[in-house]
Amino acid sequence: MGKAEEISTTKYLIHAQINANGIVEKPDVVGAIFGQTEGLLSNDLDLRELQKTGRIGRIKVNITSRGGRSKGEIVIPSSLDRVETAILAASLETINRVGPCEAYIQVSKVEDVRAVKRKKVVDRAKEIYAGMMDEVTPESLKMIEEVKEAMRIHEITDFGDEKLPAGPNVHTSDAILVVEGRSDVLNLLKHGIKNAIAVEGVSVPKTVADLTRKKTVTAFVDGDRGGELILKELLQVGEIDYVTRAPRGKEVEDLGKDEIMVALRDKMPIEQMFHDLGIKVEPKSEDKMVVLKNILTELEGSGNAEILDDALNILKEVKVENLYDELKKINNHPYAVVFDGVVSQRLLDIAHEKGIKHIVAIRSGEIVKKPEKVKLITR
């Protein structure tokens, strides 16, 4: 077998280290390899037969002697599969004599020649590409960008009666992104995101509001005051599932691919928004009762109370025994109180005095006079 043919068919290179207690030469080592592995494995893995059929290449031995001892490296090219190559490599370690000398062979590694070739291909491709880019003039780059921009614009569709800018997948995708404007949709298209639709202003169109009831919706808003206003409007007229924002002070249309991916990865469920974003958005009235009852369920057995504002954000969390005193001194317009306890007359009176709209508790005690403007909710 010629050298070029051997290189082209080799899949793996078995590298092994040899140490011998005496002076040995290359023919001694090769002879020991063939002689001491003969009959050890099946006929399919007999070294002589494998070499005859070209499934292993020429055994290479590089050995030196010094001070009455010999050491060196053995390299065996293999075109066998991975398992067969591993078995063949392990068989080398059974050799314990070379000529008249005691010897020890240990496999140091099995090198995947194809992986090395692939790395060379990648490295060379990088060099070729870099050379190609060096030849591209600024005018050419500008022309390329103009073509790409034209293609992105071509992909934008008009969605709904309001003809809102949208990616081509908004019609078919189960999940969509709601953004502020056309430029946001274009930027997302640039980075391969085709399921965005723009509201085109602070007021949310009916088309978008209807979409939020049919699809899983992520509001992707700018990191400024405008983004906050759009988010508030979306929460009032639509049903948003997740929220994410551009970094503070940035707009979605200015984000690079990495920033977009980070923002989408870090999207939060709408339930977390009230606490985590610090944006006061008043839920629909029918939803407030559900939220208040859920809070009561969470508090049950804790002995705690939560004083909430009109967006159901927590103003104060206290122990039930301290609730009355806390309500007496609170001045920041509480909307509701939810607590793990029993509603008393004096608690209702202080709630009425402070303008609290809802008292939610486990049960009610003896109430003589219930204020008209305070709604009492118990289990």
Q: Taking the domain 157-276, which CATH number applies?
A: 3.40.1360.10
CATH of 285-378, one of 3.40.140.20, 3.30.70.890, 3.30.930.10, 3.40.50.2300: 3.40.140.20
Domain ranges of the chain: 9-114, 157-276, 285-378
Which one, of 60, 51, 56, lies nearest residue 30 by Cα? 60
pTM over 0.75: no
Q: How many CA atoms lie within 13 A of 70 on its CB side?
A: 25
What tens digit of pLDDT does each residue of 14-26 get? 999 999 999 999 9
What tens digit of pLDDT does each residue of 364-377 get? 888 888 888 888 88
- The amino acid that residue 116 corresponds to is V
What tens digit of pLDDT does each residue of 244-296 get? 888 888 899 889 889 999 988 988 887 776 666 555 555 555 567 888 888 89
What tens digit of pLDDT does each residue of 317-345 get? 999 999 999 999 888 788 999 999 999 99
CATH fold of 9-114 reads Alpha-Beta Plaits (3.30.70)
Q: What is the mean pLDDT of residues 90-113?
A: 92
